[in-house]
Structure formats: C-alpha cells, structure tokens
Amino acid sequence: MSLVPAPPAPLADAPYRPAPTGPGARSMGPDLARGVLLLFIALANVWGYLYGRDLGVGGRPVDGGTLDRVVDGLVALFVDDRSRPMFAILYGFGLAVMASRMSARGLDPQGIRRVLRRRSTGLIVLGVLHSALLFGGDILAPYGATGLVALALVQRRAAVLWRWFAASVVLGVTASALSMLLLDSSREVLPPATGYLASAGERLLGSGVGIVVCVVFLMFVPHVVVGVLVQRAGWLQRPWEHRSTLLRVVGWTSLGNLVLNLPWALTVARVWVPGEGAELALSLAHEVSGFAMGLGYVCLFGWLAAVWHDRPRGLLLTGVTAVGERSLTCYLLQSVAFAPLLSAWGLGWGERLGTAQAAVLAVVVWAATVAVALALHRAGRRGPFEVLLRRWAYGR
C-alpha cells in the first residue's frame, strides 16, 4: 500500500480547546513498540557507562570473555543504532497523530504549530536537564530540536515530504561518513570525570554539540518523515488492515539488516578483524541498515498488535504497553538507575562490569520500569513526566 496523505477535514463550526488524547483513544501498536523499544534502549545505552578499559570496535571493552563477546555481537546486530531510528520514527508518528487530531477538532494550522512548538521546546528542556543531571547520551533534546524543524513538515503534501526525506538522507549519510573519516583511529579515550560537577559539565557540552549536529545535518528528519507517512497510511492505527504490508516490510528490512549488519556485528564481537578501510565501510552500512531496521521493528510491533487485536491482554502485554504509554517517564527512570550505579562519580560499577553483566542489569532495570508502569496503569495514572509535558504543551 502506498503511503499517501489523508489529512482529516476540520470541523469548522466546532469550538476547540487543545487537549491530549485520552487513554481509551490510544492505539495498541505504538505503545507496544515503545514498550519494547525501552528494553532496546536500555541494552544500547548501558555499555556506554563502562569505563576504565581499552575499547575496541563499537566502543566495547576489549578485555571481555567469550560470553561478553557473544552479547556484544548480538546487541550490535539487533539493537545498536536501531533503537534511535525506531524511536525517531515513532516520534514523527506521534507528531502527525497530534496534528491530525487537533485539525479534526477544528484547531487552525497556527494553533497546531503552537502546541507542537511548545511540546518540542519542553522536550529540549527536559533533555538538557537529563544530560546535566544524569546521562550524556540523552535523545530527548535532539528529538525536540528535530520537532521544531518538523513543524514545517507535518501538514505538507507527500511530495514535499519525500523531497525533504531525500535531501536529509543525503546530508545525514554524508555527515556520518565525514565524521567517521575525521575520527582518530586510536581506541584510547580520556578517563571519565570522577566528580559529579565536572561530569555534568562534560555531559552538557556533549548535549549541546549533539543538538547542533542533529539540527544542522537534519539527522532525524528522514525518520520523522517516515513516521508522518506511516501515520497517514494508517499502518499503526489500523494494523489489522495492513497485515501483509507490515509483514513484507519486516521481512525485507530483516534481510537487509542481516546482509548489511552481520559483518559489523562479527567485528564488534571480535570474530573478524577487518582492515581500516573495510571497518569504515562496515560502520556506514551498520548505520544505514539501522534506519531500515528501525522501520522494520515499528512494523513488526504493528503486526503483532494486529494479531492481538480484540484478544484479552495478559499481564506481560499489559505491562509492556503500559511502559509504552509512559515511555518518557520510563526512559528517564533508566538513567535514574544506571547513572548512580555505573558512573565514576557514583558506585563505579561501570569500571568492573563486563558487557554481559551490564546487559543483565539493563534487563533488570527495564523489568523494574514495567512494574512501575503497571502499577500506574492499575491506579489509572499517567507517568509524571507525561503529565508535565502535556500540561506544558496544552496548558491546563
């Protein structure tokens, strides 16, 4: 099925007051995808806290045992640089859903942009605070900055979106290739700051650079465009109508991930040691295939939502979708757990844990967020950071 625009007609005579979506109006597919995505993010982020050892390809410590190397390879194949594209596609999908519903309720384009602008600036503020307080690899601020760029896209024709997609892909791939060429070939890194204030300064600097790079090189604009087009096609809102299409996308992207990314995963696992030029090519193929696999994962969970449509939800499925509905809160909770345990300014576990042990910790932390989200779901409460962001975007 082609991805064609289908903007709803505004209700001209209906009074409008901006308001967030109620729980009963939510689609299962996006929440299921976000819930599992938080597990992927935990697995992708946790090894970034490891320090005090020489690093190999993919930033993994080179002193790991066989189990560490197996975990490194699997995470590189299925998770690394797949969770961020998946999250960015869902972010674009969410922006399009918000714009579509506000338009259907009668809000004019200027009012829609005002709500989305406030939401994007709220994400930037939360992301910068997240970087300063806990985690330098924050994704909220870059997504918020991308959301400001996307204000010019969410209500445009499909032809305009495809032109933005093509231009931003070329720009992003070029920027990635240049950054890889300019990186020092040495694997040695500076030791992390042991003092909290010094580490906060490092994290803030990294956050500022990340925001600028994402905006200048439109790094997440292609993903947001795809998310908007997915929303217009109804793949996640009505996945039962698109099962065969979703499954085809999953199949082709999985095949592409296996062909393009397996050599990189074997390199990260230190099964294969390519030359310097080959390593650069493999790294670029890893990033490109990650974009495609991000869409594949979105479609996979859309297809699963279609399979489970109108079926009773068990405890695990309810918990995972509850995490997806509170993804902002659960994402921040991961840093609340990881940073004090693993950082040099905290308990310093990151100096001693191998990547396999760190992966176990990631799963445990994600499971804890499932328990928190399930408790909030049963109490009929949203996540506290969702409430904060919605109130900032929509007002009381």
Contact 207, 131 (CB under 8 A): yes
The pLDDT assigned to 278 comes to: 86
Residues 6+ apart with CB under 8 A from 294: 82, 83, 84, 85, 86, 87, 88, 89, 223
The CB density around residue 314, as the number of other CB atoms within 10 Å, is: 9
Beta bridge partners of 55: 61
**In whole angstroms, what is the distance from residue 263 CA to residue 272 CA?**
8
User: For residue 58, is it left (φ>0), alpha (ψ between -120 and 50) or beta?
Assistant: left
Contact 370, 323 (CB under 8 A): yes
What are the boundaries of each domain within the chain? 26-394
61: amino acid identity, one letter: P
The CB density around residue 312, as the number of other CB atoms within 10 Å, is: 7
Q: What is the DSSP letter of 61?
A: B
**In whole angstroms, what is the distance from residue 380 CA to residue 285 CA?**
44
Closest to 54 measured CA to CA, from 192, 194, 189: 189
**SS3 at position 114:** helix
**In whole angstroms, what is the distance from residue 200 CA to residue 173 CA?**
30
Provide the H-helix boundaries in 16-108: 28-46, 66-78, 83-104
Residues 6+ apart with CB under 8 A from 105: 10, 11, 14, 16
**In whole angstroms, what is the distance from residue 62 CA to residue 69 CA?**
9
Query: What string of pLDDT tens digits covers the 396 residues of the chain?
Result: 444 344 444 333 334 455 555 544 577 889 999 999 999 999 999 988 998 888 888 888 988 899 999 999 999 999 999 988 999 999 999 999 999 999 888 888 899 999 999 999 999 999 999 999 999 889 999 999 999 998 888 888 899 999 999 999 998 888 877 776 666 444 455 566 668 888 889 899 988 888 998 888 888 999 999 999 999 999 999 999 999 999 999 999 999 999 999 999 999 999 988 887 788 889 889 988 999 999 999 999 999 999 887 778 889 999 999 999 999 999 999 999 999 999 999 999 999 999 999 999 999 999 999 999 999 999 999 999 999 999 998 876
**In whole angstroms, what is the distance from residue 109 CA to residue 128 CA?**
28
Beta bridge partners of 61: 55
Q: Give the length of the chain.
A: 396
pTM: 0.88
Contact 6, 290 (CB under 8 A): no
**In whole angstroms, what is the distance from residue 373 CA to residue 328 CA?**
11
**SS3 at position 100:** helix
- 125 vs 2, 211, 317, 335, CA distance in Å? 37, 12, 32, 16
The pLDDT assigned to 26 comes to: 72
**In whole angstroms, what is the distance from residue 123 CA to residue 267 CA?**
35
**In whole angstroms, what is the distance from residue 19 CA to residue 384 CA?**
17
Contact 350, 343 (CB under 8 A): yes
**In whole angstroms, what is the distance from residue 324 CA to residue 309 CA?**
17
Residue whose structure tokens are 């109006």? 25
330: amino acid identity, one letter: C
The pLDDT assigned to 11 comes to: 34
The two tokens of residue 69 are 């190397």
